[in-house]
Structure 1
Amino acid sequence: MNLVIQSPEPIADSHVKPLTALARAKRIDRDAAGHVLRLTDAEPLQRADIDAYCGTHRLDYAFIDPSLRLADFGLVAMDMDSTLITIECIDEIADFCGLKNEVAAITEASMRGEIKDFNESLTRRVALLKGLDASALDRVYEERLRLSPGAETMLAGARAAGMKTLLVSGGFTFFTEKLKARLGLDFTRANTLEIVDGKLTGKVVGEIVNAEVKARTLRETCAQLGIDPSRAIAMGDGSNDLKMMAAAGLSVAFRAKPVVREAASLALNFVGLDGVLRLF
C-alpha cells in the first residue's frame, strides 16, 4: 500500500526516518511544499504504530491502494454540518431563542452515537425552535455559516476528475439549497423545516433524513449515475453518517467523532477537505 502522511504545516525532516522505519516502506517522496509524504510499499499491519506516531505529532495518515486514481470514483457524497461547513446549523438556530446549550448537548450526544434514534433526537431539537422567526435562518447562513478548510479546492478537484457531488444532511434544506447554488453541487438531500406565517412550527415536513436515508440516497444517486457504490467517496463526522460511509467504496472521517474515525477507511483530523485530493 501507499502510506500518505499529511500536515497543515511543512512536515519536519525529523519525521522521515521514523515514519519510513515504522511503515517498513521502500521509498518516500515529498511534495514541493513539504506538506505531504508518500511512502511506497508500506506495511498496513503497522497501522497501530503509525496511528500512535501520527496522533502524537498531529499528522494525518492514510493507507491507499497505489493503483487507485481519483478519476476511478464517480461521486463524492458529503455530510453538511461539521463536514462541508464548520457549524451545526441547528445549534446556531437555537442560539436565537436562547437554547443553544440545550440543543447542542443533544446534537453532540447524537453525533457520538449515544442517542441511537436520530429521528427522536432531531424531533426533540426542532420542537425547541417552535415560534422562532424564520429570519433566524438567514442570519445563521449570513453571519455564522463558514465552509470547512479546503472545501472549495476539494470540490474543484472532484469536478476536474469527472466526479459528481452529493450533499446529504440530517440538517435542513434551507442551507443545503443555498450551498447547492453557491458551490454548484449536483445533488442535495436534507430535512424541511415547517414554516407557517414566517415562524418555525417546531416540526419537520416529510421523511427525516437519518442514517438509513443517507445510505439509501447515496445508493440511489449512484444508480442514477450508472455507477456502483464502490465508486463513491463518502465523507462525514457523526454516527448518522456511518451507514452512508459503509455503503461507499472509500469513507473519510473529517474532524470526526471517535466511533466514526474507527469505522472509516481514513481520517482527516488536521488537514482540510482538500486532503482527499492528495491521497491519489
Structure 2
Amino acid sequence: MTCLFSIAVHEEYDCVLDMIQNLNYYVPECYIILHIKQDFVFDVKNFSKFSNVFINPEKFMTGYVDGSLLYVHLSNFLLAEKLSLKYQYFSIFGSNQLFVKKGYENYIKQYDCSKAQICTQKDLYGKMNYQYTRFFYDSSFPYIPKNHSFWCAPEGTFYKYNLLLEFIEKSNILDYYNINKKFYLKNNFKYREFLRDLSKLFSKLKLLFLFPKVLLKYTYANEEIFFPNINQLSKNSNFGDNTCYINWENNLNISITDIKNIRENNSHFFSVKRVDRKYNDPIRKYIRETSTY
C-alpha cells in the first residue's frame, strides 16, 4: 500500500462510514486504522467488509489539547507494526476531513515528508504560540531542540515509513508512551483537564516557567510538535506541502467554492477540513454527491 491513514474517531457510524468510502475512493492504495474514543459506543462489526480497515483495540480517553492525540497515533502505528502492514507513508487524518481530489498518492511519493514551519514564540498573526510556549518548558521531549523545532497542524501531513520508524527509535518515545499511558484513560480525564486549565492561568500571569515541567505534556497538542520534527531527518530537505486545505481566513469553515477551486487548480491540496460531523451536512453531502462512492 502507498499509505496508512491514522484516525481518531468520535462521531456517529454513518459519518465514519462516509469517511472510509471517501478515503477508499480517492486513495485506493491505503490502509485505515481507526482509534475509537474510550467512552464511545460503536459497533465495529459493520466495518468487517472493508479489508483495508482496522479497528485499534486499545482505547484512550481523548480530549482537547491535552496530548492524547499523540497517544492515539502512536498506538495506531504500533498496531500496524503488530499486524505487519506494509506501507510507504504514514498519514494523520482528521475525522472532520475529507478528500475532494485524486492524485494524493502520486504527490506524496515525490517527497520524504510534509513541510512544517519553524516553531517560534509567536504565530503568523503575532499572537503567542500556544503549543510552542508549553513545549519550550516541557521536559518530555529532550531530543527535539528547543531553538530549532518544527510545528504544524497534523491534518494533511505525511511521513515516509522509514523516517517515522527512525524518529521513533531515536526519540525513545515508546518509553514515554508506556510510562504515561495510564494518564490517558478515562479515570484521569478530569485530571488532564484541570492541568490544562491551570496552565492557562499560569500563562496568563506570565508564570508558565513555574509550572511543573513534567506535567506540561498534558496541557497542549504535542502531536503538533512531535510528528513535524521528523523533518529533522530528511537529509536533503525533501519536503512536500501540506495536502489539506484549511480556510484559516473564514473561521475554518469550508465552502463549496473552496472545493471547486481545489478541484480546478493543479495545487498540492487534495483534502479539506473542517467538514461538519453530520452525515447530511451540506458540504459533506456535496462532496459525496459530486464523487462516485
Superposed pair shares fold, TM > 0.5: no
Query: Normalization by structure 1: what TM-score?
Result: 0.26
Instruction: Give the strand-richer structure, 1 or 2.
Output: 1
Higher relative contact order (CA 8 A, sep 6+): 2
Query: Normalization by structure 2: what TM-score?
Result: 0.26
